[in-house]
Amino acid sequence: MKQTESWIDECHQGVRYGLKGHTIHEENSGFQQITIIESQRYGKGLLLDGCWMTAELQEKQYHECLVHPALCSAAELKKILIIGGGDGGTARECLRHKEVQQVDLVEIDSRVVELSKEYLPQIGGNAWEDPRLKLNINDGVEWVAKSTKSSYDVVLVDSSDPSGPSEGLFNESFFKHCHRILRSGGVFGIQSESPESFHQIHIDIIRLIREIFEYADPLYGHVPMYPSGWWSWTFAAKDGSRYLNPYPNRAKEISKECEIWSTRWQKGAFESMPAFIERELN
Ligand code: SPD
């Protein structure tokens, strides 16, 4: 029998951001409400606590933009840390880099991983079987606090919005640990919300990261299903703004199979800070 299609919306402050489709699975994991939907336009999708996380036909717009600015510019790529990212998309993009020896994926909610493997297997792709991937069902805040100094070449935070299980991933203490565990020559990257829909949160994230890291800059792009569709990722480093300059050999190899990311796209995306954000940050 054909499922009844309806609008599935993420709602904020008098605005809603929706896809037409139907719910195929819903549960409360103890950490959060997890919803898997089938949409008419973007394939299967995932919501956490009613907020859009990803969908099969637009996940690359998010994952490529979080991963490649960092992995194409870090001095070495031996050991990568991903906090969150339970759908596997960030790990998949990291593991496309042949120099990567180990990816520690630290996801607090095992059900996000299990349901993503079951309903959204294309998003993780081969990452789940890759021996370089070490999946840890653990609290990312505790993980960074316990990690030894300078133990990672790249640290990526692929979290949901800063509330519920992700609340602790946006504060001073967390960022200080990320700075401590990053090697010099390393790159830190985090999804940093929408300059429009989550304007103040976006500003606060950049300001805080700039207080802790020697160099930090946001990059702007589009994820159609997210609030306003206008999204950002912020990158930081200790030894210069190396994230602005991808190594040409890595970039050439990686961009061959990207939908969005390329050195050209990245250059524009770092340059496209809107004037109102630039004024506030200065
Ligand atoms: N408002 C949505 C922010 C979600 C960012 N993370 C998405 C997870 C995809 N791996």
Evaluate whether 89 touches 54 at the Cβ level (below 8 Å).
yes
- Provide residues with CB under 6 Å of ligand 1: 51-54, 62, 85, 87, 89-90, 158, 160-161, 191, 226
Which atom of ligand 1 is nearest to 52's Cα?
2
Q: Which two tokens stand for residue 34?
A: 């997890």
- Residue in the block written with tokens 């930081």: 236
Ligand 1: which of 12, 123, 158, 198 to mutate, most ligand atoms within 8 Å of CB?
Answer: 158
What is the mean pLDDT of the segment spanning 60-75? 98
Task: Give pLDDT, residue 1.
Answer: 61
Go through the domains of the chain in sequence order and give each one's CATH number.
2-54 (2.30.140.10), 60-281 (3.40.50.150)
* Predicted pLDDT at 15: 94
**Chain segment 80-111, per-residue pLDDT in tens:** 999 999 999 999 999 999 999 999 999 999 99
User: Can you state the angle between helices 263-271 and 60-71, rounded to 10 degrees?
Assistant: 90
Ligand 1 center to 191 CA (angstroms): 7
Is 158 tagged catalytic? yes
- The whole-model pTM stands at 0.97
Q: How far is CA 256 from the centre of its chain?
A: 21
Edge-to-edge strand ranges of the sheet holding 102-107: 133-137, 102-107, 79-84, 152-158, 182-191, 230-237, 215-222
Condensed to tens digits (0 to 9), the pLDDT of residues 125-154 reads: 999 999 999 999 999 999 999 999 999 999
Q: For the beta carbon of residue 7, count every other beta carbon within 10 angstroms.
A: 9
In the reported structure, the alpha carbon of residue 223 is separated from the centroid of ligand 1 by a whole-number distance in angstroms of: 10
